[in-house]
Structure 1
């Protein structure tokens, strides 16, 4: 991971450093296509195998069945698939929170404007400190059709108790869509234990995979509640005597036309994390570093920590009193070769502690922030 060793890389929450095994898999697939072409049954068999390998590795990560996994291009695509998969009627309602990312909110605003749907916002507090169950349950009505929320808030790194919401939704017959952009690869995720109906993830963040790859978990029992908005070759059954029918697995939500090399890189990244790094160690390491950074950052005079609790995720958000967050990000980059980011909506700074970071790097970051 040269991107993580040539600089202090604290921004996995935006883009994780690409690993060499993913790069190698991408190059090998492209080289194979370049030399041998992309025609014939051998090509189709190879592509199907690449896709199946990626689905199975995502399924392992999330504790799902391969048939419940659809490959996507990113988290936002998964959020769109589910949000547009409901037969919305004027006056229907959707519940979300005041800390959601644009990839979750964008589809909801479009649905609101197109179909006359009402969006209700559950207030989780300024930094996500309030209990989520009561905040959402208080907004449920007979017209609620969907609940959308994040597992980890992108704004402050607060861990949301989505399982409570998922089981409450099950009791009321309301499906729950979870944005897993800041959880997949950063904390353990067991979609079956969570009770999630739908769970969308990216590959380019904590999982250090290639851009344009991701996945959507669709609980088997919740699959029929959603209709495919767009379909393609992978969505369909290809059986003799069947003119038109969708696949009976989550694959019905795959459009097709994706770059096989990128998906090969996706599978390779997941394989490397599982077999070389180890998920148990990875999650423990991220939590340990986050806890260490939380304590270290709080020693800086004038620093106001926004993250409610240390060690719950790999994200930490804070403000430096008297400093413009944009300028701090730029100064750290230019003068210290340190990469973090800002969160415009909260006018704060955000640090991501990846498994590849070290306590010494965190100490260097703290020293730099003291000097600014």
Structure 2
């Protein structure tokens, strides 16, 4: 499968989790959309785009278990989180409850939003090794009368843990507390059913594990929240009229959610329109079996390195998918990352959490056994 991607042949690429990697055929589909747009930009953007985006959203909704009217495309999951942070009503003294496992950029978004309104962003410590059965209990025990929203990852970035978000959303709903789930790493890496998860807001990336082009993500929201969500840029979807321009409905969309979020002026829609091609690519290549093979390869690396260094895994086998954080002796993480790349040609992130150092490997369908072998033979990990 490696030949189906554009990765350099001598590169050991174990960092799919950061920006993904897109198959050749999906990139070709994106480029065809770009060329088609340039044949008549006015027709493409001004008269066709709403229907094209609806078709792409329908394909994505079928993949993630959602109603296409309840999701919109955004450039990435962080943008989706920012839409919620800027739109969600918070008053002085209110609280957003989260964990210490969250992605730094989204932590920053919540910290800024809370500070601007006199609210508090509180993170609950989740000890390692990870205890799945106690995760929801720990978070709900931290709820106070001022808790207005719970924010948590579906798959954590630094530690690569798959968190029990359906159980969390159910417990929060019983207490009348809305939830925002950051699924940046979930689509394509694990099977998804957003309706079953039941989050009030869910954001995800298509350009990571779903292998769509860069800049394709989505925001899913329950319909009772649509009216409160504001786009990062105010544009024609907010206008009462069309300012004398005929045909605007062709690209503004039908619903309030679509109208506000979809049209942001002239921008390249091709990454979003290529999402169905990425979904088709994975279906044709039997992705459930690919995921299993990838998990098995990642497990081999985890077992070998933890035995070598006498360190225990931080989670059970079922608590991670194709991406796993492998503990290594505590050291300068940037120095280790540089050595792995400079000495062994391995592109892999080195992460830290709670004073511990991890080599976080991502194993994707294109990963071959020789790449895992090179990681295990790397002098920096001896």
Question: Shorter chain as normaliser: what TM range?
Answer: 0.7 to 0.9
User: What is the aligned partner in structure 1 of residue 321 from structure 2?
Assistant: 313
* Aligned partners of 2:91 and 2:118 also within 8 Å: yes
Structure 1 residue aligned with 2:366, among 356, 369, 372? 356
Partner of 1:14, secondary structure, is helix
Question: Where do 5+ consecutive residues of structure 1 fail to align?
Answer: none
User: What is the aligned partner in structure 2 of residue 267 from structure 1?
Assistant: 276
User: What is the aligned partner in structure 2 of residue 293 from structure 1?
Assistant: 301
CA change 1:127–1:37 in 2 (3 A) is farther
User: What is the aligned partner in structure 2 of residue 22 from structure 1?
Assistant: 26
Distance 1:359 1:251 in 2: 47
- Greater shift, 68-77 or 201-210, is seen at 201-210
CA change 1:245–1:308 in 2 (3 A) is closer
How high is the TM-score relative to the length of structure 2? Answer: 0.85
Partner of 2:275, secondary structure, is helix
**Runs ≥4 residues deviating over 6 A:** 235-240, 242-246
How high is the TM-score relative to the length of structure 1? Answer: 0.87
User: What is the aligned partner in structure 1 of residue 163 from structure 2?
Assistant: 160
Q: Give yes or no for the alignment of 1:333 onto 2:341.
A: yes
* Aligned partners of 1:188 and 1:283 also within 8 Å: no
* Aligned partners of 1:10 and 1:338 also within 8 Å: yes
Distance 1:21 1:50 in 2: 19
Q: How many residues align?
A: 366
CA change 1:83–1:125 in 2 (3 A) is same
Partner of 2:53, secondary structure, is helix
Deviation at 1:285, TM superposition (A): 3.2
CA change 1:371–1:145 in 2 (3 A) is closer
Question: Where do 5+ consecutive residues of structure 2 fail to align?
Answer: none
Structure 2 residue aligned with 1:33, among 25, 30, 37? 37
Coordinate RMSD, CA, aligned: 2.9
Q: Give yes or no for the alignment of 1:177 onto 2:180.
A: yes
CA change 1:126–1:236 in 2 (3 A) is farther
Distance 1:212 1:162 in 2: 25
* Aligned partners of 2:302 and 2:313 also within 8 Å: no
CA change 1:237–1:139 in 2 (3 A) is farther
Distance 1:181 1:321 in 2: 28
* Aligned partners of 2:60 and 2:275 also within 8 Å: no
Distance 2:188 2:128 in 1: 26
* Aligned partners of 2:101 and 2:126 also within 8 Å: yes
Distance 2:35 2:127 in 1: 51
